[in-house]
Structure 1
Amino acid sequence: MEPEVLERFTWYMREQSALTVMFHTKVAEQMGLSATDEKCIDLAMRADGPLTAGRLAELSGLSTGAVTGVIDRLERAGYVRRVRDPHDRRKVLVEVTVGDVEKFGELFANAYHSLVEVLGHFDDAELAVIERYLKLQIETFRKRVIDT
């Protein structure tokens, strides 16, 4: 790969990352959370039901100690609650309690419309390449950066 190409893509990724962090910081402020807490509630909401603190730590890349603090704050803010695992009473699960999810949906409306606008510039073949890139980027980034 040419150094100029790598430099260009590095700039794009850094800019996208900065914008994403700023966006989630803004959303978190509106929710009364830190950006880390907001991303953890997002991970919990996308999980297939309640999850353990250990699983949230794996998904977030945070230490179990840091996740305990996140769960404490989310519980105090009313976004999650700790419940006993019905299959193993020794385990504690984290359950999302956000009743009015649509309330937070409006926080993401502009981001959603931005995505629709941008994707509208590409045909199906181009979208397939973009999707392949994003999947590989997520998988590789998680493996090399988050899960290390």
Structure 2
Amino acid sequence: MTSEHDVPADVVERFGSYARETSALTARVHGRLAERLGLSQTDEKCLDLALRAEGPVTAGRIAELSGLSTGAVTGVIDRLEQAGYVRRVRDPHDRRKVLVEVTLGEEARSARLSLGAQAALAEVLSRFTPEERDVLERYSKTVIEAFRKRVVDA
């Protein structure tokens, strides 16, 4: 959905600043989580991408979403598999295709929760009415869609 509303440059700059700060803090959260899981930040981020997929995912899809080469993703998957966070499985619909399935143990799930990111998000969202949260959700989805078109799908 597009709009006819002009956005002043100072508003774009302000929101850009918020986005950069959020991105930097999110990277730090992922860095701490990676450290707790004994992974590099790249490996943890790929694990996160696989975790958010609806079921097993191809290495190619992880490469596409992460921006890494397929060769680099093969190394990531090797390390994640060795650490016990994922396993390779055959695609039940095409036995020639290999999928990556997340096998996070309870310790890893606890590490993710112990950072308190979900609690912080719940605290922030509690400051907004349901109607305001609807607007925030629409904004977030629109930003994701716009960035995905320019970065992932380009």
TM-score (norm 1): 0.90
List, as ranges, runs of 4+ consecutive aligned residues in structure 1 with deviation greater than 6 Å: none
Q: Could you list the runs of 5+ residues in structure 2 that have no partner in the other structure?
A: 1-6
Which one-letter code corresponds to 2:111 in the other structure?
A: F
Correspondences of 1:63-142 after superposition (within 5 Å):
63-100=69-106, 102-108=109-115, 110-142=116-148
Choose the corresponding residue for 1:48, options 54, 62, 70.
Answer: 54
* Percent sequence identity over aligned pairs: 64
Q: Distance in 2 between matches of 1:3 and 1:77?
A: 47
Choose the corresponding residue for 1:33, options 32, 39, 60.
Answer: 39
Equivalent pairs counted in the alignment come to 147
Residue 106 of structure 1 and its aligned partner are, at CA, apart by 2.8
Residue 16 of structure 1 and its aligned partner are, at CA, apart by 0.5
Which one-letter code corresponds to 1:103 in the other structure?
A: S
Which one-letter code corresponds to 2:87 in the other structure?
A: R
1:67-88 Cα offsets, whole Å, 9 max, x none, are: 1111011111111111222332
Is the CA contact (8 Å cut-off) linking 1:27 and 1:107 kept in structure 2? no
Which one-letter code corresponds to 1:17 in the other structure?
A: S
Which one-letter code corresponds to 1:111 in the other structure?
A: A
Q: Could you list the runs of 5+ residues in structure 1 that have no partner in the other structure?
A: none
Residue 60 of structure 1 and its aligned partner are, at CA, apart by 2.4
Which residue pairs with 2:22 in the alignment?
16
Comparing 2-11 with 79-88, which one deviates more in the overlay?
A: 79-88
Residue 20 of structure 1 and its aligned partner are, at CA, apart by 0.5
